[in-house]
Amino acid sequence: MVKPTVISTFAGCGGSSLGYQMAGFKELLAIEWDDNAVETFKLNFPDVPVYHGDIAKLTGKECMELAGIKKGTLDVLDGSPPCQGFSTAGKRKFNDPRNSLFMEFARLLEELQPKVFVMENVTGMIKGVMKQAYLTIIKTLRECRYQAKGQVMNAMYYNVPQSRERVIIIGVREDLGIEPSHPKPHTKPIAANKVIKDAVVDDCGNPKGILMKRMKQVKPGSNLGKIDKKGSYFNYVRYPIGKPCMTIQKSVSFGGISIWHPTEERNLSIGEIKRIASFPDNYQMIGDYKTKIARIGNSVPPNLMKAIAEHIKTNILEVIL
């Protein structure tokens, strides 16, 4: 049986790619510019060709040549353009240059004309002033001759022990006559503490002794800011027992959001965080604690993408065939 095909833009370390692989897809090309992300990706997907460079400099013709396809034959074009400009954790500037990277995705979409596209981004893009940006994105994607529909999906309902909401936009080429749709929730929320019970405790980021002493006062599900007299340190949290973990962000490190073990005086280890993000234990990461966290925090949880890919395969691609 011929496997459906996918090209991944803004591929990162391969979270989405792993999800497509688990769903039975064949990845023809990954596009990524970050050195560490590319090195990590290649370690875990040695057989997938990688375009290591600026997506703005990759033409549609060159992309198709690298992937060995012709216009209109690709099944899925996937992409998670950098989202810092939309994120509620940042200043959310409409004019942030990082917000324009979705135009590079739209350009390749127009030039490749795949049957389906999947675009993932943060929920900040549909809130408040940024909703105009979302409407612009949807309009731009539809102008590429696609029916497009966005929906907020929380990874904790798709076998990921982490509460992580993302906007998932799915589009189907107009000539195929199929309405885009999203998978319904698959599972009930999973308690993160059960998932990490026997995980490898490797790199924990080496927190300072004084911080370890203060974190002893913090109960699971709470943060240091609630007991700090100055009202600081809200970014030092213990994840709750019996519930999914809070969102693993790019900056789960000192100075960012630091997620601590529910009962021990330390940060979550990389081995534990991989499980919370639904990466397998043998998934290889490169670099220091902060760098590894950045890779995981920027990734789409593999199990979430697996659910999306399986839905597309069954409800769109197999219907077309």
Spot the catalytic one: 13, 83, 144, 204.
Answer: 83
Asked about 204 being catalytic, the answer comes back as no
Q: Which three-class secondary structure state does DSSP give residue 134? A: helix
The residues, any chain, with a CB within 8 Å of residue 95's CB and separated by 6 or more, are: none
CATH number belonging to the domain at 5-185+300-320, selected among 3.30.465.10, 3.40.50.150, 3.30.70.120, 3.30.70.260: 3.40.50.150
Kindly list the domain boundaries of the chain, sorted by start residue.
5-185+300-320
pTM of the full structure: 0.91
Q: What 3-state DSSP class applies to 147?
A: strand
Nearest to 16 by CA among 296, 317, 318, 321: 296
Q: How far apart are CA 200 and CA 311, in angstroms?
A: 32
Give tens-digit pLDDT for 197-210: 999 898 887 777 77
| pLDDT, tens digit, 9 for 90 and up, residues 235-292 | 888 988 999 998 888 764 444 568 889 988 888 999 999 999 999 999 999 999 989 9
First to last CA, the chain: 13
Overall average pLDDT of the 150-173 stretch: 96
